[in-house]
Amino acid sequence: MTDEAVRAKQGVIFALAAYTFWGVAPVYFKLVKQVPAFEILAHRIIWAFVLVLILIIAMRRMDRILPIVRSPKLILRLALATVLLGGNWFLFIWAINTDHLLDASLGYYINPLLNVAIGMAFFGEKMRRLQLVAIAMAVLGVAIQIITFGAVPWVALALASSFAIYGAIRKRLPVDSISGLWLETALLAPIMLGYLMFFANSSASDLTANSWHLNLLLVAAGLVTTVPLLCFTAAAQRIRYSTLGFFQYIAPSMMFLLAVLAYGEPLEESKLITFIIIWGALALYTVDSVLQRQRNKRVVVQEPVS
């Protein structure tokens, strides 16, 4: 097996690990359900900040941080991305712990289609016919739920749009994923630390009064944040980004199964119809991606050797 084949195999393993980890993350948040969502968010940010800082020091990457910190424009844009990411994380935790996991699943199914639309609207990317049909189907699925059943899937739409806009901002920032994550958590960590020290008043807010296993779970919020991201980064370095995209449905699919089979969330008719239409849209989107990859390969093969 060639070195390239080995790297590709490793990339697939890392991708499976990343998306599977994201898919089972709701199990972790259910374990700390007794803690208010904003407190869980605070622990997630603080412990991710500590863990990623240790990684950056161990990997000797502090030299990548200084040029970013010295650029007010970069910090301002990163701060905007940070607000969106923090809001997305909070809403995700709240959705899980208030039995809206199906809505979270729907949001992350919609996200790749929203990414395509943003790419066309803001980055001048050309949209192919099947992609247009897929996006139209997604809009139709949401519209049917709103018009016919009077239910606005606001959790799904907020999760999808906040993460898509966050991704669009980060796409234009010359900041690698690990440095970016640390700076994002660094911007939020003082606020979260102040909240835990002076404003949080739940039964779990005093770590000295908690059981050791609850404190261990709260500290593990940093691992829940960083481990899948590191796996994702390792996968992106080894396989094509377009190939990586085929794994993105693992997480929302696992969330869907957890919601219905493990946590007994009711799959109402309005949600089921929307899910079916979104699944159809994603199937079209996937077929289009496969066909485009095949066309690109044929073009490469047919190019004359100079």
- Please report the DSSP string for 97-134 in residue order: HTT-HHHHHHHHHHHHHHHHHHHHHHH-PPPPHHHHHH
pLDDT above 70: residue 302: no
Rounded to whole angstroms, the Cα distance separating 257 from 102 reads 9
Residue 45 is part of which domain span?
Answer: 3-302
pLDDT at 242: 62
For 200-251, the pLDDT digits (tens) are 989 888 888 899 999 999 999 999 999 998 898 888 778 876 677 778 899 9
With a cut of 60, say whether residue 306 has pLDDT above it: no
Give the tens place of pLDDT for each residue, 272-297: 999 999 999 999 988 888 888 788 77
Identify the sign of the CA torsion 246, 252, 254, 260: negative
**Distance from C-alpha of 186 to C-alpha of 199, rounded to nearest angstrom:** 20
Residue type, 223: L
Task: Provide the domain count of the chain.
Answer: 1
Residue-wise pLDDT tens digits, 166-192: 988 888 888 888 899 999 999 999 999
Higher confidence at residue 187 or residue 116?
A: 187
pLDDT given for residue 303 in this prediction: 56
* Interatomic CA distance for residues 30 and 256, integer angstroms: 15
